[in-house]
Amino acid sequence: MGDNLSFWDKIKFNWHSVTSMDDELDTVAAAAKIRNGINVRGTNVWILVCSIVIASVGLNVNSIPVIIGAMLISPLMGPIFGMGLSLCINDQKLLLGALKNFLVMVSVSLLAAFLYFLLTPLKMANPTELLARTSPTIYDVFIALFGGVAGTLELCRKERGTVLSGVAIATALMPPLCTAGFGLASGNMHYFFGALYLFLINTVFILMATYFTTRYLKFDKVAENIPQGNHFRTISSLILLAIIIPSVISAVTMIRTNNTEREVRAFIEENKIFGDAYIYDYSIKGNNAVIYFAGELSEGDIEYLHKAAERHGLDSNELQIKVNSFGTKADELLKGVYERAEEAIAAKDARIRELEEQLAASQARTIPYGQIAKELRYKYPAVSGMSLSQGSAIRITGDSIATAPVTNALILSTEALSAEQLAEITSWLKLRLEDDAIVANNIVENIIESE
């Protein structure tokens, strides 16, 4: 039979054999699983509370692994699948039950997140994970849509795998609710509404993906009917447009900002130091950029820089060059430079004072060698010279070693000094030099010469 097929028929036959799901799906069992998964009572409530607190902690400390763990244990997707299925099979009772449980779950999640962020002692200096949940784009729509399709197919498979875990991570229902709770606790409505919008995108498009997938798989309908027809399609279309349009605008803005920033960075790399000026800062909003120069730029220099920017796709309407226009950020930068300079100067001044004190102490302790030698020779005619040196006395006791400063006095003489004379000289030097750590030794000069 296969040999009689045309080329295109063979392609269609092979494509159907590869993509066919008839032997792998059980829509009756899938409908039962979805119905059982919408309920919020008992353990599901406490699992939901645990997951929201875990996700809140993860967002609080910017820990992605903790956030992923919270998404894996969250039961939030059950009612969403239920609402999508109910619209497909015209089951009003299932729709109302799923919607009620969904609203309960959202309320419990917001309350738990609100209480956590209200009571937590941890303050966020750089809440990057929270901020990531406040500006949804069209990409979040795609993620929710295809994630919903994958999740519905997984529920319909006779042998379930780990797809639902991946869908839970990809669609990320839990973190936006945590961020909304943070917005309520902190009074930051930008966080609250931005995060709720992302949650709404995820919810609606998982629901729509479930609806279309179950319709494609021809789930059995029930007797109860939900009015659909043109009225339902019109309402659905308006809801989808109201959700999609802001996300498309946000995505376009993000893409333009990314492209502009890439070109601005390339321009800055080429012109960071230009003549007697240098770039110290820049700012980007949408596809408009402002570059701040410090130093001197002529009109010709600015014209040249605009032409150089055009090579990077930045025309004069999109790029503004400001010279010595120090704004708040620059003031903070200069303030930081001055503070660091003052700290460095203060440290150097302290070091100079320390050295001056050491020098003064050293000068105060300057030893009058000549005068001491004359006095010593007058008292002991045999003395022919002397030397003084600083050193350390080391004492070893068992495993311990102790050191102490010592001044060594070497007395040169033409004949050996007696022990009494050496003791007298040591005592006299201690008194004369105000140094109790003097140790005197005697060397006879004629012995050195004979050696």
- Residue 451: predicted pLDDT: 40
Q: Mind listing the pLDDT tens digit for each residue in 409-429? A: 888 888 888 888 888 888 888
The CA-CA-CA angle for residues 43, 45, 46, to 5°, reads 65
- Tell me, rounded to whole angstroms, the distance of Cα 213 from its chain centroid: 39
* The model's pTM: 0.56
List pLDDT tens digits, range 114-137. Answer: 998 888 876 665 555 555 556 666
Rounded Cα–Cα distance for residues 52 and 75 (Å): 10
What's the pLDDT at 118?
86
Antiparallel, parallel or unpaired: β 438-444 and 400-413: parallel
CA–CA separation, 308 and 301 (whole Å)? 10
Bridge partners of 289, per DSSP, are 284, 319
With a pLDDT cut of 90, the percent of the chain lying above it is 0
Neighbours of 264 (CB within 10 A): 21
Give the pLDDT band (50/70/90) at residue 448.
very low
What pLDDT score was predicted for residue 229? 46
pLDDT reported for residue 45: 83
Residue that is written with structure tokens 């590869």 in the block: 18
Contact yes or no for 309/267 (Cβ under 8 A)? yes
Can you list the domains of the chain with their CATH numbers? 2-226 (1.20.1080), 256-330 (3.30.1340), 369-450 (3.30.300.30)
Q: What pLDDT, on a 0 to 100 scale, did the predictor assign at position 401?
A: 78
CA–CA gap between residue 124 and residue 122 (Å, rounded)? 7
The share of the chain scoring above pLDDT 70, in percent, equals 77
- How far apart are the C-alpha atoms of 159 and 385, rounded to whole Å? 105
pLDDT at 102 > cutoff 80:
yes
Q: What is the pLDDT of residues 262-285, one digit of tens each?
A: 888 888 888 888 877 888 788 877
Give the residues across from 444 on adjacent strands.
413
Which two three-digit tokens encode residue 327?
């704004």
343: exposed, middle or buried (Cβ count in 10 Å: 0-12, 13-18, 19+): exposed
Whose structure tokens read 């992302």? 198
Contact predicate 23/149, CB 8 Å: no
pLDDT in tens, 222-248: 754 555 545 655 666 676 677 667 767
Q: Cα separation of 329 and 333, whole Å?
A: 6
Query: Within the chain, what is the greatest distance between any pair of CA atoms?
Result: 135
Partners of 403 in the β-ladder: 394
Helix (H/G/I), strand (E/B), else coil: 273: strand
Structural tokens at position 403: 């050191």
